RNA sequence: GCCCUCGUAGCUCAGGGGAUAGAGCACAGGAUUCCUAAUCCUGGAGUCGCAGGUUCGAUUCCUGCCGGGGGCACCA
């Protein structure tokens, strides 16, 4: 990694300065090496001198000058640097020799799809829990965002050396499912022309009717006198789960495990949590309910964990579930969910802490809502009335690539406005096609070159011919993938990949329009072709990270 | 009332203790005898919500206020 090399050089010179008494070591670790935003400010810059000056009340530019001397001296003949200079209030700007950047091409060629991937996860086990929608209806666009976000986070972690498990947690018992069964029975009776009562808070979607219809086809009216809702619930769950999984499959999402809340009860793990908490004096009874004394754990109010009806609230199995995650040996647990569930976090973490586990290993990723825009108007959605837009419909309309890309265009914290007008555009300003087109264009160039008998691999391309401004910019952008990927993974922020792709595609399209890749000069053509091939690889690898296709032609 | 989150260009959003704050869309004009014009180039636009504080330096960190969203159930 080039940045790491520069960083190492700067660290080395900082230490050398300490050794020689040029400055103290108080600034160790608190200065930065970064890419300046502006052209002319070098490939990398460090604020070391300003940090030192701040601590020692000295003139930053003087310290910067001393640092420049060290960097140029210590560097010696085979230095990374072409030029190092003091700039602005005391920045030290480093200009790298072109060959340092040019060397990224053979590096990419050598590593192929592995370029950019890292090992900072060191094989640690991480559990990414997402979607976790109960099987009561089709996935809504909110679930869609979460599904895509969770999967992309999982991909980032895999690409940085973590052993990832994707898990879907669900509950197929309880009130919601009962209501689902009752709703299905009501539709069943309705379709048979029999008297029925639809539950007040029932599920009104058309999909319930379809399930009832399927039930009639299978079993006729044999269930008309059934007082138990179980057969209805069972059928509904079956159909809905199949539907959800089908939608997820269309998005390219596969789970490694489905964790059923019910199993926690069957194995006595829920009771066990209550017993453990009770032992620690964190549980008490009041008004027929069982309370968790979260105020003892620094929270504002105590919470009911078992209702007076004897049914646990969602908190209790959630705590038990999280304890199981720890027991299953995960080093890190990432929970992705919508901001409407934000309130559950502190209670569950308090439970985890109370049971003696390190809550620091649990990282919640909370995403804000999605609003759909069509014709400049917000599409009104209401789950209860079932006039919401499903992921399925979205996929029918714009396809999986656009769906995934758009859901990842914003950081999780931001509300996401999904512009259907833009998303359905088959051309021009649709950012998905913009990026994919760059990839397709590169493939096309390679095809054309092959026809003409020019191949990047012919002989050893002379990369020193790649000295155009646009070429340097592309090389630098490509070289930045490893650190970008690592940072995005650690921050659990896949949107950074989307911005990276758009930037890379823009740089390429600009380059393409200005310079001919396969031209009259064979040596230059080979070098540029090698650059194009590396770029194609980087685009493809980055697209894989967000689960979007890399078409070879469009 | 309390908690979380967001507030950056006309719109949608990146960025982030430092050097002239970015992109896309929208708008206006221009580019193709040549590797895909699903492309490129040029143009304008912002007191980075407001007010204090910390700092050599704040749009970035802290506090308060204002505004949008979400939450504060014996729903999940």
Closest nt to residue A552, judged CA to C1': B36
* Minimum-distance nucleotide, CA of A448 to C1': B35
Question: Smallest Cα–C1' distance to nucleotide B5: which residue has it?
Answer: A413
Distance measured from the CA of protein residue A7 to the C1' of nucleotide B46, in angstroms: 35
Q: Residue written as tokens 């579930």?
A: A321
CA of A410 to C1' of B64 (A): 29
How long is the CA A144 to C1' B31 vector, in angstroms?
41
pLDDT of residue A517: 95
**Which of A64, A158, A108 has its CA nearest to residue A478?**
A108
Q: Give first-to-last CA distance, chain A, whole Å.
A: 33
- Indicate the average pLDDT of chain A: 91
Quickly give A105 CA vs B66 C1' distance in Å: 52
Q: Is the pLDDT confidence value at A382 over 70?
A: no
For A424-440, what is each residue's pLDDT tens digit? 887 667 899 999 999 99
- Round to a whole number and report the distance in Å from the CA of A348 to the C1' of B74: 17
| pLDDT-derived band at A385, boundaries 50, 70, 90 | low
Nearest nucleotide by C1' position to the A313 CA atom: B74
Nearest nt to the CA of A409 via C1' is B13
Nucleotide nearest A519 (Cα, C1')? B35
Task: Judge whether A147 and A248 are in contact, CB under 8 Å.
Answer: yes
CB atoms within 10 A of CB A482: 21
Domain A428-546: state its class: mainly alpha
* A98 touches A467 (CB < 8 A): yes
Residue entry with tokens 């490694």: A256
- Nucleotide with minimal C1' distance from the CA of A436 is B38
3-state helix, strand, coil in chain A (%, to 5): 55, 15, 35
Distance CA A67, CA A92 (A): 8
Å: A410 CA to B6 C1': 12
Backbone angles phi, psi at A223, to 5 degrees: -100, 5
Minimum mean pLDDT range among A45-59, A176-190, A308-322: A45-59
pLDDT at A455 over 90: no
Closest nucleotide to A414: CA versus each C1'? B6
Q: Is A190 exposed, middle or buried (0-12, 13-18, 19+ CB in 10 A)?
A: middle
Q: Report residue A321 as tokens.
A: 């579930």
- The first and second tokens of residue A546, run together, are 């967000």
Per-residue pLDDT tens digits for A197-219: 999 888 988 899 999 999 999 99
For A130 and B46, how far is CA from C1' in angstroms? Answer: 38
Protein-to-nucleotide distance from the CA of A36 to the C1' of B15, whole angstroms: 13
Question: In the predicted model, is pLDDT for residue A355 greater than 80?
Answer: yes
Identify, with chain letter, the residue nearest to nucleotide B38 (CA–C1'). A427
pLDDT for res A46: 92
3-class secondary structure per residue, A451-477: HCCCCCCCCCCCHHHCCCHHHHHHHHH
Asked which of A255-259, A338-342, A384-388 is least confident by mean pLDDT, the reply is A384-388
Smallest CA–C1' distance to B7, residue: A414
Span CA (A300) to C1' (B63), Å: 22
The residue-averaged pLDDT of A111-126 equals: 95
Q: How far is the CA of A370 from the C1' of B68 (A)?
A: 14
SS3 A171: coil
Give the CA-to-C1' distance from A409 to B49 in angstroms: 24
The band of A72, judged by pLDDT with boundaries at 50, 70 and 90, is confident
Domain with CATH 1.10.730.10 in chain A: 428-546
Q: Rounded mean pLDDT of A73-91?
A: 79
- Nucleotides on chain B that have an atom closer than 7 A to a protein CB are 2, 4-6, 12-15, 18-26, 31, 34-41, 55-57, 68-76
Output the pLDDT for position A422: 87
In the block, tokens 């050396």 appear at: A161
Region A514-540: what's the mean pLDDT? 94
Q: How many residues does chain A have?
A: 554
Task: Check pLDDT > 60 for residue A172.
Answer: yes
- Distance measured from the CA of protein residue A368 to the C1' of nucleotide B70, in angstroms: 8
The three-state DSSP-derived secondary structure of A216-276 is HHHHCCCCCCCCCCHHHHHHHHHHHHHHHHHHHHHCCCCCCEEEEHHHHHHCCHHHHHHHH
Provide, in whole angstroms, the distance separating residue A331's CA from nucleotide B17's C1': 33
Identify, with chain letter, the residue nearest to nucleotide B4 (CA–C1'). Answer: A342
Calculate the alpha carbon distances from A523 to A137, A460, A495 in Å.
Answer: 60, 10, 38
Q: Which nucleotide is nearest to A92 (CA to C1')?
A: B19
- Scanning every strand, the nucleotide with its C1' closest to A261's CA turns out to be B76
pLDDT at A522 over 70: yes
Point out the residue nearest to B72 (C-alpha to C1').
A343
Q: What is the pLDDT of residue A425?
A: 80
The ranges of chain A annotated as CATH 3.30.1360.70 are 2-96
Question: Smallest Cα–C1' distance to nucleotide B12: which residue has it?
Answer: A417
Query: CATH number of the domain at A2-96, out of 3.30.470.30, 3.30.1360.70, 3.40.50.300, 3.40.50.2300?
Result: 3.30.1360.70
The whole-number pLDDT of residue A353 equals 92
pLDDT at position A491 is 92
Q: Which nucleotide is nearest to A287 (CA to C1')?
A: B74
* pLDDT over threshold 70, residue A457: no
Among A104-118, A377-391, A496-510, the minimum mean pLDDT is found in: A377-391
Tell me, what's the ipTM?
0.95
Q: What is the pLDDT of residue A550?
A: 97
């Amino acid at each position: 990694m080039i940045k790491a090399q520069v960083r190492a050089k700067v660290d080395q010179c900082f230490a050398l300065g300490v050794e020689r008494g040029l400055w103290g070591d108080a600034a160790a670790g608190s200065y930065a090496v970064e890419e300046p935003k502006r052209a002319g400010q070098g490939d990398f810059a460090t604020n070391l001198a300003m940090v030192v000056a701040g601590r020692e009340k000295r003139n930053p530019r003087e310290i910067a000058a001393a640092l420049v001397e060290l960097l140029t001296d210590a560097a010696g003949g085979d230095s990374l640097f072409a030029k190092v200079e003091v700039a602005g209030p005391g920045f030290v700007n480093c200009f790298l020799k072109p060959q340092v950047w040019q060397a990224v091409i053979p590096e990419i060629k050598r590593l192929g799809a592995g370029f950019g991937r890292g090992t900072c996860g060191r094989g640690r086990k991480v559990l990414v829990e997402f979607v976790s929608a109960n099987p009561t209806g089709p996935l809504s666009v909110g679930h869609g965002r979460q599904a895509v976000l969770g999967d992309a986070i999982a991909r980032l972690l895999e690409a940085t050396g973590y052993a990832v498990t994707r898990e879907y947690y669900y509950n197929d018992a309880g009130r919601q499912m009962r209501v689902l069964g009752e709703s299905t029975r009501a539709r069943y009776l309705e379709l048979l022309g029999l008297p029925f009562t639809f539950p007040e808070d029932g599920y009104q979607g058309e999909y319930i009717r379809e399930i009832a219809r399927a039930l009639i086809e299978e079993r006729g009216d044999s269930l008309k006198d059934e007082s138990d809702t179980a057969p209805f619930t069972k059928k509904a769950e079956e159909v809905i789960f199949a539907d959800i999984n089908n939608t997820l499959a269309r998005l390219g999402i596969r789970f490694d495990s489905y964790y059923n809340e019910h199993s926690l009860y069957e194995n006595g793990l829920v009771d066990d949590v209550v017993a453990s908490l009770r032992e620690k004096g964190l549980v008490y009874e009041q008004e027929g309910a069982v309370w968790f004394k979260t105020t003892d754990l620094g929270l504002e109010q105590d919470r009911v964990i078992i209702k007076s009806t004897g049914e646990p609230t969602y908190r209790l199995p959630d705590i038990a579930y999280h304890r199981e995650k720890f027991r299953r040996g995960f080093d890190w647990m990432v929970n992705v969910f919508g901001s409407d569930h934000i309130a559950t976090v502190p209670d569950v973490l308090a439970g985890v802490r109370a049971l003696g586990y390190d809550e620091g290993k649990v990282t919640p990723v909370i995403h804000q809502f999605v609003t759909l825009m069509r014709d400049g108007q917000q599409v009104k959605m209401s789950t209860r009335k079932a006039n919401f837009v499903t992921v399925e419909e979205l996929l029918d309309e714009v396809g999986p690539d656009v769906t995934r890309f758009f859901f990842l265009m914003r950081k999780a914290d931001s509300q996401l406005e999904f512009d259907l007008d833009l998303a359905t555009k088959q051309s021009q300003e649709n950012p998905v096609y913009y990026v994919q087109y760059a990839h397709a264009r590169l493939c096309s160039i390679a095809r054309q070159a092959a026809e003409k008998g020019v191949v990047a691999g012919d002989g050893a391309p002379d990369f020193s011919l790649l000295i155009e401004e646009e070429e340097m910019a592309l090389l630098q952008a490509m070289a930045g993938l490893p650190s970008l990927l690592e940072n995005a993974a650690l921050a659990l922020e896949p949107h950074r990949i989307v911005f990276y792709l758009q930037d890379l595609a823009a740089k390429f399209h600009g380059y393409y329009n200005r310079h001919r890749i396969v031209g009259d000069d064979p040596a230059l053509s080979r070098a540029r072709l090698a650059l194009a091939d590396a770029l194609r690889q980087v685009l493809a690898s980055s697209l894989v990270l967000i689960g979007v296709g890399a078409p070879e032609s469009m």
